[in-house]
Amino acid sequence: MKDKILSGLKKENSRLKTKVRQLQTVIRHQKVTIDEYETNWHLKLFSDLEVLLQQYTLFTNPLPVKIKASFKNEAAFYEVKPANIIGVFSKGRTKQILLDRAISGIGGSATQTNILYTETNFGELQKVINQSKFLFCLVKRGVLINVKHYGLESNFLFANSIDITPSVDYSNIKISKKAANEFIEKKKAFDNINSLQNNQLRDILAKIKKSITSFEK
C-alpha cells in the first residue's frame, strides 16, 4: 500500500515538474516579447496605428468598384469610387448614379460624365457600392444617398453644390423620421471617423515617425 502511494506521488511530482518547465518556457518567451515591446514600442505603435488608419479609410473611402452603365446610349464599364458617388436615384427601370466628378468608361470613348445610367437591379447596385454598409443611406424607396455629400434640415436632405443638371431631384429630399435618424447616426459616425483620420491619428503617426527618424540618426 505504501509503495503504491509513493509511486503515485512520484508520478504526480514528475507531472508537476514537467508543467513547471513548460511554464518557465512560456515565461521566457513572454519576457522576450515584453523586452521587444519595451525596446521597440514606438515601432509597434506606429505599425498598429497605420493598420487602424487603413481600416478606417476603407469605411470613408472604399475601394473602387466596376459598374455597367451608359452615357449618351454608349454602354461601358465604369470604375467608380463609392466615395465619389453622390447618390443613386431609381426612375422606373433606369437608375441614375450621380458623381461628384466626371469619369470616362473603361476602354471606351474618352467622353467623361458625372451622370451614369444603368438598368442594374437596385438591390444589386446597392450591394456593389455599399459593401462597407457605412457610407450610404437608403432614405426612401429607390433613393440611396452618400452621407458625405448631404446635410439634414428638419426632415429634408440637402446635397452639397454640384455642377451637374440631372433629371432627378437629388436635393431637398423629404424623408421619414426613421430615415432621418439613420442618416444622423451615419453622418455623425462619418464625421467622427473623418476627423480622426485627418487630425488625431495622422498627427500621432507624424510624431511617432519623427521620433523613429531621430532614433535612427
State the pTM of this model: 0.66
Amino acid at site 120? T
- Three-state DSSP class for residue 108: coil
pLDDT for residue 215? 44
- pLDDT (tens digit, 0 to 9) for every residue of the chain, 217 residues total? 666 676 766 777 788 888 888 888 888 888 777 766 666 655 666 566 666 666 667 778 888 999 999 887 788 899 999 999 999 999 888 999 999 888 888 876 667 888 899 999 999 999 999 988 888 999 999 999 999 999 999 889 998 766 666 656 788 899 999 999 999 999 988 887 777 655 555 566 566 566 555 544 4
For CA atoms 31, 36, 41, 44, give the dihedral sign. negative
Please tell me the distance from the alpha carbon of residue 156 to that of residue 174, in angstroms, as a whole number: 4
Residue that the C-alpha cell 481600416 belongs to: 55
User: β-strands 143-146, 150-153: how paired?
Assistant: unpaired
pLDDT for residue 202? 59
Q: Which class does domain 65-175 fall in? A: mainly beta
For CA atoms 6, 10, 13, 15, give the dihedral sign. negative
pLDDT for residue 15? 82
